[in-house]
Amino acid sequence: RGGEEEEEVEEGWHQLYPGHIPTSPLQKALLAAGSAVMALYNPYRHDMVAVLGETTGCLALPNLRDKMKNHPEGYRILQERPRIRLSTLDMARLRGLPDGSLGREYVRFLEDNKVSPDTRMPPKFVDDEELAYVIQRYREVHDLMHTLLGMPTNMLGEVVVKWFEAVQTGLPMCVLGAAFGPVRLSARKLQVLATELVPWAIRSGLNASCILNVYYEQRWEQPVESLREEIGIFPPP
Amino acid sequence: VRLCRCRCRALLSRSAGVLRALRGLAAGPEMHFGFQTVTEAERREKIYQVFESVAKKYDVMNDSMTLGIHRVWKDILMHKMNPSPGTLLLDVAGGTGDVAFRFINYVRSVRERQLQRKLKHHQNLSWQEIFDSYQKDKFNSLGDSQVVVCDINREMLKVGKQKAQHLGYCEGLSWVLGNAEELPFDDDKFDVYTIAFGIRNVTRIDLALQEAYRVLKPGGRFLCLEFSHVSNPLLSRLYDLYSFQVIPVLGEVIAGDWKSYQYLVESIRRFPPQEELKAMIEDAGFFRVDYENLNFGIVAIHSGFKL
């Protein structure tokens, strides 16, 4: 029985990119459900949030990819496939940039919140190599979103960024995160969220051009304010 | 089911194939690691890594994957063994201690019943004599039974020791790092040898069986609890569907580790079926070799005696 199955093996299974795990529709459905439950049960399971994004992004990701293809800067990003990682960033140079510039503020954000761009999960369950890059790019740009929106990495800040991303990308994971994230916030924070932050995030998200169409690595020197204006993000409250 | 077959295969990229061909001559015979083909050395390494990474979530995953039924299987193993106080058990690949703890519980309860029966027969003794007999037996709640847990993987042993401490098992329990293919024990030492869900991961099953024979006392019993083959076609398809579709997902969601659980279900399919394993056990020198299917063959307990 083992031998006969072996012959079928080679054709059915192929890895499209390193780390890719091909999954059947049933497995994707189970993963989506399981990761959603686990992410709610244990918010520290960032890998579950990532898996949820991958398994539910089948409509939103091609959409994003097309937006990128149809934009000159986004197209270049798809061609060149830049990665935001500690090994590719020149931290010393960024730290040396003037205050208010994207590079300086980004490094400040990383240090203040004690986060690193290297902790982003590589995609596993996306069955298209280009879409896998798109979701990877979205993850790596997330910290830059924090910087542009001026939001810290606490629960409140993350929820605000999720609202912005939900409007921008349409990824179901962002929508779910935006909707369920506030569940764990105190009443006072919820009020601030509902009255000021979320409306602002939504307005900015709708007004702004696609955030994946910005080649951030070539704009470290640009002041944050100017970049905000260019993209269409309203100043944070 | 076809979907399962096409989907659930290991990766075999071209470059790995070339490397393997080059290393093939030096590194030894080809073996299976789940559905992948690897050398013997690679297999040992990969399996070690699998258990290193799953160790902490091993018990949780067992409960989720089998919906808690693995506990019943292990209980049945213990009842089949029916150890009496004074038994010396070697539990190989015993990692997190499930079989060892059950052994201790079983022997303790048998011992208690023994003591109760003794008391009943001594009802004509004086209070002093009864009290004295308590003293003698009090420090012998296990009746000199002992279990040695042997595992090749440090992480699994670590988890087992922590569990033992947490659950309060200290008497009659030893933890030894060792390889089933080359046990660090002398000949003719143990009354019973068990290997529960471990023999599947051994690279040279024949060597492990020979070692089992060697370390058992004459009259000793070999017991193996392992996943086996389901012959009923309908059940087999459902079982395949569940194994290949659900279990890796559970692995990813609960333990954050798809690959190890993919390996698990593949290794079950690769393992020899009931009759073949029985023949291998007989080859190692055991007599009265027999097996009992649990849950239609999802799991089987093989038993043999050294005479």
Rg of chain B in Å (alpha carbons): 22
**Separation between Cα atoms, residue B105 and residue B107, nearest integer Å:** 6
Domain presence at residue A158? yes
Contacts of B271 (CB under 8 A, 6+ apart): B200, B226, B227, B228, B277
Q: How confident is the model at residue A34 (pLDDT cuts 50, 70, 90)?
A: very high
Contacts of B146 (CB under 8 A, 6+ apart): B87, B88, B89, B172, B173, B174
Domain presence at residue A83? yes
CB-based contacts of A22-25 (< 8 A; 24+ apart in sequence): A22/A127, A22/B7, A23/A55, A23/A125, A23/A127, A23/B7, A24/B3, A24/B4, A24/B7, A24/B245
Q: Would an 8 Å CB–CB cutoff place B250 in contact with chain A?
A: yes
Domain presence at residue A127? yes
Domain presence at residue A164? yes
**Separation between Cα atoms, residue B306 and residue B254, nearest integer Å:** 41
The letter for the amino acid at A139 is: R
| pTM recorded for the entire structure | 0.78
Domains and CATH numbers, chain B: 40-306 (3.40.50.150)
Q: Would an 8 Å CB–CB cutoff place A24 in contact with chain B?
A: yes
Q: Nearest residue of A to residue B4 by CA position?
A: A24
Domain presence at residue A11? no
Range A43-82 burial, b when 16+ CB lie within 10 A, else e: bebebbbbbbbbbbbeebbeebbebbeebeebeebbeeee
Candidate from A15, A27, A45 with C-beta closest to B245: A27
Beta-carbon separation of A9 and B12 below 8 A: yes
**Separation between Cα atoms, residue B200 and residue A154, nearest integer Å:** 46
The pLDDT of residue B238 is 94
Domain presence at residue A128? yes
Q: Nearest residue of B to residue A15 by CA position?
A: B11
Candidate from A1, A5, A31 with C-beta closest to B249: A31
The letter for the amino acid at B264 is: L
Query: Which residues from chain B sit within 8 angstroms of residue A37, using beta carbons?
Result: 253
The CA distances from residue B34 to A34, B25, B38, B82, B243, in Å, are: 25, 22, 10, 34, 13
**Separation between Cα atoms, residue B297 and residue B121, nearest integer Å:** 45
- Residue window 86-125, chain B: list those with CB within 8 Å of chain A: none
Candidate from A34, A45, A124 with C-beta closest to B249: A34
- Residue window 9-28, chain B: list those with CB within 8 Å of chain A: 9-13
Q: Would an 8 Å CB–CB cutoff place A41 in contact with chain B?
A: no
Q: Would an 8 Å CB–CB cutoff place A45 in contact with chain B?
A: yes
Separation in Å, CA of B264 to nearest CA in chain A? 15
The pLDDT of residue A4 is 34
pLDDT tens digits in sequence order for chain B, 307 residues long:
444 444 444 444 444 444 444 444 444 577 788 777 788 888 888 889 888 888 888 888 889 889 999 999 999 999 999 999 899 999 999 889 999 999 999 999 998 888 888 878 777 777 777 777 666 655 577 778 999 999 999 999 999 999 999 999 988 899 999 999 999 999 999 999 999 999 999 999 999 999 999 999 999 999 999 999 999 999 999 999 999 999 999 999 998 889 888 988 998 999 999 999 999 999 999 999 999 999 999 999 999 999 9
Q: Would an 8 Å CB–CB cutoff place A11 in contact with chain B?
A: yes
Task: Dump pLDDT digits (tens) for A189-229.
Answer: 888 878 888 888 888 888 888 888 888 888 888 888 888 88
Q: Which tokens sit at A125?
A: 């369950």
The pLDDT of residue B26 is 44
Count of domains for chain A: 1
Separation in Å, CA of A187 to nearest CA in chain B? 31
- What is the predicted ipTM? 0.80
Q: Would an 8 Å CB–CB cutoff place A3 in contact with chain B?
A: no
Question: What is the span of the domain harbouring residue A29?
Answer: 25-231
Domain presence at residue A14? no
**Separation between Cα atoms, residue B204 and residue B206, nearest integer Å:** 5
Q: Which tokens sit at A179?
A: 């909707």
**Separation between Cα atoms, residue B149 and residue B91, nearest integer Å:** 5
Q: Nearest residue of A to residue B270 by CA position?
A: A2
Q: Would an 8 Å CB–CB cutoff place B7 in contact with chain A?
A: yes
pLDDT at A5 over 60: no
Domain presence at residue A64? yes
Beta-carbon separation of B7 and A27 below 8 A: yes
Task: Dump pLDDT digits (tens) for B211-246.
Answer: 999 999 999 999 999 999 999 999 999 999 999 999
